[in-house]
Structure 1
Amino acid sequence: MSTEISVFSLYKKIIKNYYNHNNFVVFKKPYDKKIFFYSHYNCSLDVKFFLIQNFKHDHTIKIYPKNIYCVDIQKLDKKTNIFPSFWEKNSSFLTDSCKYKKLIKDAIENIKKGFLKKVVLSRFIKIPFRNFYFKNTFIKLIHAYPNALISLWYNFHYGFWMGCSPELLIECHNKKLKISALAGTIWGSKKWTKKETEEHKIVIKYILHLLKSYKGSIHIENTKIIKIGHLKHLETLIHFLFYEEPNYYEILNCLHPTPSICGYPKKKSLDFIYKNEGYERQFYTGYIGIVHQNNMELYLNLRCVKIKEDKKEMILYAGSGITVDSNIYQEYMETENKIKNILSQLVFK
Structure 2
Amino acid sequence: MNIFEKITNSYHKKTPFVAYRKPNEAVISGFFMDNDSLFFVDDFSEKGFVFAPFDNQQKAILFPINNSEFISEDLSFDAIKFKEKDFCNNDSSQEQHIKLVDKTIEVISNNDLKKVVISRKEDLEISDFNLIKTYQKLLQTYQNAFVYVWFHPKIGLWLGATPETLLNIENNTFKTMSLAGTQVYENTKNIVWKSKELEEQQLVTDFIESQLTGISSNLKIDKKETIKAGSLLHLRTKVTGELNENSTLKTLIRALHPTPAVCGLPRGNAKKFILANEFYSRSFYTGFLGELNLQKNKIETENSSLFVNLRCMNILDDNVSLFVGGGITKDSNPKNEWEETVSKSKVMKRVL
Q: TM-score, normalised by structure 1?
A: 0.89
On the 8 A contact 1:41/1:63 being kept in 2, the answer is no
| CA displacement at 1:179 relative to structure 2 | 0.9
Instruction: Name the aligned partner's letter for residue 276 of structure 2.
Output: K
User: What does residue 117 of structure 2 align with?
Assistant: 120
- State the 1:93 CA deviation: 4.6
What corresponds to 1:272 in structure 2? 273
Aligned-partner Cα distance in 2 for 1:152–1:242: 31
For the residues of structure 1 that align with 2:129 and 2:59, how far apart are their CA atoms?
Answer: 27
CA separation of 1:219 and 1:68: change in aligned 2, threshold 3 A: same
SS of the residue corresponding to residue 68 of structure 1 reads strand
1:305/1:316 contact within 8 Å kept: yes
- Give distance in 2, aligned partners of 1:254 and 1:243: 13
Q: CA deviation at 1:181?
A: 0.4
**SS across alignment from 2:69:** coil
| Structural mapping, 1:1-349, within 5 Å | 8-40=1-33, 48-57=47-56, 58-65=58-65, 66-73=68-75, 75-78=76-79, 80-81=80-81, 83-84=82-83, 88-90=84-86, 92-94=88-90, 96-189=93-186, 191-242=192-243, 244=245, 246-292=247-293, 295-309=303-317, 312-346=318-352
Residues in 2 aligned to 1:195 and 1:48: alpha-carbon distance in whole angstroms: 40
User: What SS does the corresponding residue of 2:305 show, helix, strand or coil?
Assistant: strand
- Distance in 1 (CA, whole Å) between partners of 2:105 and 2:2 is 52
Counting matched residue pairs gives 330
Q: State the Cα distance separating 1:290 from its structure 2 match.
A: 0.2
For residues 209 and 132 of structure 1, the distance between their equivalents in structure 2, rounded to whole angstroms, comes to 44
Distance between the aligned counterparts of 1:121 and 1:215, measured in 2? 31
Contact 2:290–2:307 (CA<8 Å) still a contact in 1? yes
Mark the CA change 1:19 to 1:175 in structure 2 (over 3 Å): closer, same or farther.
same
Contact 1:175 1:246 survives alignment (8 Å): no
Q: Specify whether residues 292 and 302 from structure 1 end up closer, same or farther in structure 2 by C-alpha distance, changes over 3 A only.
A: same
State the shift of 1:241 in Å: 2.2
Counterparts of 1:215 and 1:115 in 2: how far apart (Å)? 28
Residue type at the aligned position of 1:29? K
- Sort the Cα spacing of 1:195 and 1:184 in 2 relative to 1 into closer, same or farther, 3 A: same
Q: 8 Å contact 2:20–2:147 — kept in the other structure?
A: yes
Cα deviation, residue 37, structure 1: 1.4
> 1:303, CA displacement in angstroms?
0.4
| C-alpha distance after superposition, 1:76-112 (max 9, x if no partner) | 111x22x33xxx3316555530000000000101111
**Quick one: distance in 2 between partners of 1:173 and 1:52?**
19
- Structure 1 range deviating more: 139-148 or 199-208: 139-148
Percentage of pairs with the same residue: 32
Distance 1:39 1:318, change over 3 A: same
Segments of structure 1 that go 5 or more residues without pairing to the other structure are: 1-7
Q: Distance in 2 between matches of 1:251 and 1:243?
A: 10
C-alpha displacement at 1:243, in angstroms? 5.2
SS in 1 for 2:285: coil
Structure 2 unaligned blocks of 5 or more: 40-44, 295-301
Q: Report the residue type matching 2:53 in the other structure.
A: N
CA separation of 1:41 and 1:244: change in aligned 2, threshold 3 A: farther
* Alignment partners' CA distance in 2, 1:48 and 1:106: 42
Q: TM-score, normalised by structure 2?
A: 0.88
Residue 15 of structure 1 deviates from its aligned partner by 2.8
Partner of 2:298: none
Q: Secondary structure at the match of 1:13?
A: helix
**Which one-letter code corresponds to 1:345 in the other structure?**
V
Q: Are the equivalent residues in 1 in contact too, given 2:212–2:255 (CA < 8 A)? A: no
d(CA) in 2 for partners of 1:163, 1:334: 18
Q: 1:68 to 1:315 in 2, by over 3 A?
A: same
Distance 1:131 1:178, change over 3 A: same
Residues 19 and 141 of structure 1: CA distance in aligned 2, closer, same or farther (over 3 Å) = closer
